[in-house]
Structure 1
Amino acid sequence: MAAVIGLVAALSLGAVGEAKAAAPSSAASVPADRFTDRAHGFASLAGGTTGGAGGKVVTVTDQASLARYAAAEEPYVIRVSGAIAVEPFGSDIVVTSNKTIIGVGDTGEIVHGELHLNPGTSNVIIRNLTIRDSAVEGNWDCKDTDFDGIQMDTVHHVWVDHNRFSNICDGQLDVRKDSEYVTVSYNRFENNNKTFGLGWTTNVKTQITIDHNLFARTKQRNPSVDNAAYAHLYNNYLTAQVDPGDPVWTYGNWSRGRTRMVIENSYYRDVQHPYQADATAELVERGSILRNTTGRTDEWGAAFDPREFYDYRLDPAAAVPALVERFSGPQKRIGTTLHVPADYPTVQAAVDAVPDGNAVPVTIAIAPGTYRAKVFVPATKPNIVLQGTGQDRSDAVIVYDTPAAYGGSTGSATVRIAANDVTARNLTFSNDFDEAAHELSGEQALAMKTTGDRIVFEDTAFLGNQDTLMTDSPKLDVISRVYIRDSYIEGDVDFVYGRATTVIERSVIKALSRGSATNNGYITAASTWTGNPYGFLITKSKVVSDAPAGSFHLGRPWHPGGEPNAVAQVLFRETELPAAIKASPWTDMSGFSWKDARFAEYRTYGPGAEVTADRPQMSDADAKTHTVAHYLKGTDDWAPHARR
């Protein structure tokens, strides 16, 4: 389905001087995502257009790499970063089947060159690129050259989306010689003579959808459609024609030959011959707006009903200029989502597809389901978002059942995040190793271990028993930061532990009973470096427990390997504590006294929050420098808590 939405009333434009009124549209029922990475329109039919999905993801910055991957036999998602100047001037980059070529953010550019799809090519997506400047100075008509922006001959299943074409010598986009199942959406066609042509055949085979495109400062072929079986044009914006004084070859849309064309809810401003049809062609127009236009507006024949082929939603014609100006062309947020399992069968496969050194955030969208496998995000793959797409965090669960007895504490982790700048949302991480069914010396079983910096967990759950969640750093004197918000953590022994600076805010922590009347476990086991004033902050949260009253500790000081410079720092701040918490909630560990650690409470409350001699209370003065902002700020002013 076309990814279109209706504008709110505030964006609606007036209709002064309009020749036709806008067709009604129900904004409430229209999808909200204009950046979907699923092809719509004709490109979505007959098996659909998926490009290089499932293939390796590569990032290119030079012509040789782009040409090599674009021409490869196997599928590729090719991310174009920065401007690639093609040499010799006007040369082709051949694109073979099963490819996605996509700009990184809004930086990807093809300069002085053409993307060329030879006959027989299929399943190609070209998105989010600027393709520009192959025009020869002073040669407006380009009669002696054939330098196109994109040219395709006898291909099928192609999606051209969110690109910008400017100053191309010949056609900015040529769809030729019986190409089929093509969608052209959200592009900017600017500064050109022969802009967008379709045909070069006597057959009547092509099916094409053309929606939400801008045609500005162009002269002809906006588009010209010759002998297409079905051409569906909707919500396009044509404006500011070049050379409107030419009575014939300056025009908007042209239905030529035996084309059947349908135009809906488009907007024409300062255009000569907005839409016209040959006597042998058919053109049905409805709902469009014309302002300051002259010349032909032909309508005859029955054409076809697009809804017999696919579903779509129309924006009001009056809203089209604002929408197209805002959303067409390259966008920073496009090309950054990998779907599990639609594109990649496992979460790990999607992680592996992210390029090393990734600088633009990539979202791995995880569909509802239980994924029984381990996941490792290596340090070489930063800027990843793990995003569950279900309605609840319990809908997508990543789970495994390895204990520390089989590979050590780190080896037990269901998920390990070593990269910086990783975010996880709306997911559950679990280690469901069954302690009761095994008698092992190493029963630690991590659901999650992090060593990267600037890690965020939002609306996530961590399920396990001993050592459920470890937030760590690469080594003792390296400070990593983790922010956990609106989440749930459960366990029994040391189930929040490590040396990373970690904030847990607005979350629920469940201390599980092990069946003891006196000691059921420990919530925290921090190992904060002495040079780091900030370890664990648990704030504005709630601790719950099914353990008996007075049988659970807030924590103990962990000195890994007896390291004397690992001195725990833990603050429970403005957090509700249950009756299960001991009156003396801190305890020694491995010969190290809890009194030498940096343990404190500040304004805790609830049945487990009594004040005793063994419960250090932070002063109001010190509390001013032990806030979420202080813990996370670092040297780079990181403030994930301020984002909403």
Structure 2
Amino acid sequence: MRRRTFLGMSSGLGIVATGIVASPARAGGRRPDLVVAADGSGDHSGIQAAIDAAPAGAAVPFVIGVRPGAYRGQVIVPRTKPLIELRGLGRRPEDVVIADDRANGTLKPDGTPWGTSGSASVTVDGAGFKASNLTFANLFDEAAHPEITNRQAVAVLTRADRIVFDRVRFLANQDTLYVNSSAAGVVARVYLRDCYVEGDVDFIFGRATAVFDRCRIHSLNRGSAPNGYVTAPSTDITNPHGLLFDHCRFTSDAPAGTVFLGRPWHPSQDPNAIGQTIIRRSWIGAHIPDAAWTAFGAWPWEDARFAEYRNSGPGALVSANRPQLTDSEARAHTIAAFLRGADGWSPERC
């Protein structure tokens, strides 16, 4: 695997050519309340320090501008800090990198492992969080740590409602983006627009309602068969809306037919985790085989809520192995239907 170097940091995360650039139409907004700068020229030099300085229980967004640079260390946005916005102030998402480097099996100072949730570089529990024009990464180097077998290494974990990521990159290997909720049966909505997500095993997973709008989903080539799984949803049976990909691009450098679109995750063998992944009007590369979905242990993919609709590309096959939505069903599985809820949330219109 080739290595990526960005802003003075090197990691074994593969190669990226996102094509994401800052959009002048959306890169503005009101002036930041605080500025973070790695060189000490801002109000704070670290991301967590700026979040700690944000007001608790805010009723209006609190904007933290982040100047170009690399920011290392775990970041936690607590439940008491809603409506925080992290805004990259560079020209491109690559200019601001927020990262850490622990895995599930990495040991804490007390000798116990961090676990999958604890591995997250960034954890978001504050409702109404927004991030734009920056990169989140988990730099855990699998090759450098053969002694660690539990290699889940999360870049971002979300557990709150009404979260927006706009022109954001998420980089890791296994379990890159963990879109979850505070508890089983609790709905938490996440909207991702023009984002880039990269990984290999189950790298988009969880029970949240998450909409990927015009995103690029890139599967790394890990040099083994299978090369990985794009999604591992654990949507609660009471939630009609899980993971939705609309007008996205599924790409990879992996050999043809070696990556699955998804498998159903049942945390702690929960029978009520009936995962949903829907991919509609998207381009799918040749790395996806005809048998695009697969079992997760004893849980068959056929019992999950997996479907496609009017996709294109060499990996967008229509067969008995690839359930397709009807036109009528597709009208009920739109961005608006997934996000509106009882409060009429519509971030895609902003």
Q: Same fold (TM over 0.5)?
A: yes
Residue 12 of structure 2 is matched in structure 1 by none
Residue 503 of structure 1 is matched in structure 2 by 211
Q: Give the one of 500, 512, 534 matched to 2:220.
A: 512
Structure 1: how far apart are the matches of 2:171 and 2:282? 21
Residue 285 of structure 1 is matched in structure 2 by none
Letter in structure 1 aligned against 2:33? T
**Deviations 1:144-175 (Å, cap 9, x if unpaired)?**
xxxxxxxxxxxxxxxxxxxxxxxxxxxxxxxx
Residue 162 of structure 2 is matched in structure 1 by 454
Residue 590 of structure 1 is matched in structure 2 by 297
Q: Give the one of 348, 368, 389 matched to 2:68.
A: 368
Structure 1: how far apart are the matches of 2:248 and 2:183? 29
Residue 343 of structure 2 is matched in structure 1 by 636
Structure 2: how far apart are the matches of 1:600 and 1:445? 28
Q: Give the one of 34, 46, 52 matched to 1:338.
A: 34
Residue 576 (1) aligns with residue 272 (2):
no
Residue 395 of structure 1 is matched in structure 2 by 95
**Deviations 1:461-497 (Å, cap 9, x if unpaired)?**
0000000000000001000000001010000000000
Any residues of structure 2 matched to 1:602-613 within 5 Å, and which?
A: 602-613=309-320
- Structure 2 residue ranges without an equivalent (≥5): 1-28, 107-113
* Superposed displacement of residue 409, structure 1: 0.6
* Superposed displacement of residue 581, structure 1: 0.2
Residue 70 of structure 1 is matched in structure 2 by none
Structure 2: how far apart are the matches of 1:475 and 1:432? 28
Which structure exhibits the higher relative contact order, with contacts defined as CA atoms closer than 8 Å and separated by 6 or more residues?
2
**Deviations 1:220-265 (Å, cap 9, x if unpaired)?**
xxxxxxxxxxxxxxxxxxxxxxxxxxxxxxxxxxxxxxxxxxxxxx
Residue 111 of structure 1 is matched in structure 2 by none
Runs of 4+ aligned structure 1 residues displaced above 3 Å come to none
**Deviations 1:184-215 (Å, cap 9, x if unpaired)?**
xxxxxxxxxxxxxxxxxxxxxxxxxxxxxxxx
Residue 378 of structure 1 is matched in structure 2 by 78
* Superposed displacement of residue 345, structure 1: 1.8
Structure 2: how far apart are the matches of 1:489 and 1:612? 27
Residue 426 of structure 1 is matched in structure 2 by 133
Residue 349 of structure 1 is matched in structure 2 by 49
Residue 486 (1) aligns with residue 187 (2):
no
Secondary structure of 2:143 counterpart: helix
Residue 293 of structure 1 is matched in structure 2 by none
Any residues of structure 2 matched to 1:76-225 within 5 Å, and which?
A: none
Structure 2: how far apart are the matches of 1:590 and 1:379? 34
**Deviations 1:251-299 (Å, cap 9, x if unpaired)?**
xxxxxxxxxxxxxxxxxxxxxxxxxxxxxxxxxxxxxxxxxxxxxxxxx
Structure 2: how far apart are the matches of 1:441 and 1:591? 22
Secondary structure of 2:123 counterpart: strand
Letter in structure 2 aligned against 1:397? V
Structure 1: how far apart are the matches of 2:30 and 2:85? 13
Structure 2: how far apart are the matches of 1:343 and 1:554? 43
Residue 435 of structure 1 is matched in structure 2 by 142
Structure 2: how far apart are the matches of 1:582 and 1:449? 29
Structure 2: how far apart are the matches of 1:635 and 1:360? 20
Any residues of structure 2 matched to 1:228-377 within 5 Å, and which?
A: 337-341=33-37, 342-377=42-77
Secondary structure of 1:405 counterpart: coil
* Superposed displacement of residue 590, structure 1: 2.4
Structure 2: how far apart are the matches of 1:438 and 1:351? 31
* Superposed displacement of residue 333, structure 1: 5.6
Structure 1: how far apart are the matches of 2:317 and 2:214? 21
**Deviations 1:367-387 (Å, cap 9, x if unpaired)?**
000001111000000011100
Structure 2: how far apart are the matches of 1:620 and 1:520? 32
Task: Name the TM-score, length of structure 1 as normaliser.
Answer: 0.48
Distance 1:583 1:338, change over 3 A: same
* Superposed displacement of residue 438, structure 1: 1.3
**Deviations 1:403-443 (Å, cap 9, x if unpaired)?**
11120111110001001000000010001111112121210
Distance 1:620 1:416, change over 3 A: same
Structure 2: how far apart are the matches of 1:377 and 1:616? 38
- RMSD (Å), alpha carbons: 1.3
Letter in structure 1 aligned against 2:35? H
Structure 2: how far apart are the matches of 1:345 and 1:606? 45
Structure 1: how far apart are the matches of 2:311 and 2:30? 42
- Structure 1 residue ranges without an equivalent (≥5): 1-331
Residue 627 of structure 1 is matched in structure 2 by 334
